[in-house]
Amino acid sequence: MLHSDILNTLGAEIAGGDLAAGDVLTLAELAERFNVSRTVVREVMRILETLGMVRAKRRVGLTVQPAGSWSVLDPQVIAWRLAGAGRAEQLRSLTQLRVALEPTAARLAASTGQHAGPELVQLAARMRQLGEQGLGDTPEYLAIDVRFHTLLLTSGGNEMFAALAGSVAEVLTGRTKLGLTPAHPAHTAVENHEELARAIEVGDPVRAEAHARAVLDTVWAEVDYASQVERGRSTPE
């Protein structure tokens, strides 16, 4: 088994709760389970430890840590959590972060990053074309959406916003995997992407912030509904 396969298996098991906080893992047991050397397992666990998901303790082994210790904004951790049973709630909390973050990033981009405007306009136009063709749930649409929001977060010159671009990209990917990106995107959502791009191009921070907030309002409604559905399914009858 490949190093990356072991990492993804254990990361997903911890994120999904199959390995609970307090569970103890040993290199010997893991090496036997995956039929690999302890050296391979040690490297995997070192990565999980840097992500706060396990902690090594002499004469004990590696103890699974509670979610509060994890690097929850790391794209890898986000991907593992979105693959688990509580993915809709995870997506909900991440979307709350986007709601708080992206309108301000849009205002900043319009103030200092107008150079990104032409590309944003082109990306929004392509999103409209794909959406009108019923291709809003395709890999191409996702790639353009990721590029659009990455540019939004990185063009304003704030290194904190830029550092979160990978996290937001993983959230967008998670939405698509959960089937929350419709084949025919809502007209208002596409229109707000276009207006946001134009506002950044002409350097209008107030309008850019308003349209970024409108984009996220649509996303929030979709994610909040999915979260309510999942909670309803998990409630005993």
Distance in angstroms (rounded) separating the CA atoms of residues 31 and 26: 9
- Predicted confidence pLDDT, tens digits, the chain (237 residues): 678 999 999 999 999 999 999 999 999 999 999 999 999 999 999 999 999 999 998 878 899 999 999 999 999 999 999 988 878 888 888 999 999 999 999 999 999 988 999 999 999 999 999 999 999 999 999 999 999 999 999 999 999 999 999 999 999 998 888 788 889 998 899 999 999 999 999 999 999 999 999 999 988 887 777 667 666 655 544
Q: Which residues does 75 contact at the CB level (< 8 Å), separation at least 6? A: 166, 167, 169, 170
* String of DSSP letters for 189-231: HHHHHHHHHHHHHHT-HHHHHHHHHHHHHHHHHHHHHHHHHHH
> What distance in Å separates the CA atoms of residue 72 and residue 128, rounded to the nearest whole number?
32
Contact indicator for 64, 2 with CB cutoff of 8 Å: no
* Model pLDDT for residues 116-145, shown as the tens digit of each residue: 999 999 999 999 999 999 999 999 999 999
Position 62 scores a pLDDT of: 94
C-alpha angle 110-111-113 in degrees, rounded to nearest 5: 65
Query: Quick count: other Cβ atoms within 10 Å of Cβ 130?
Result: 22
116: left (phi over 0), alpha (psi -120 to 50) or beta: alpha
- Bridge partners of 98? none
Instruction: Kindly give, in sequence order, each residue whose CB lies less than 8 Å from that of residue 77, ignoring residues fewer than 6 positions away.
Output: 11, 15, 51, 53, 70, 71
Looking at residue 100, what DSSP letter applies? H
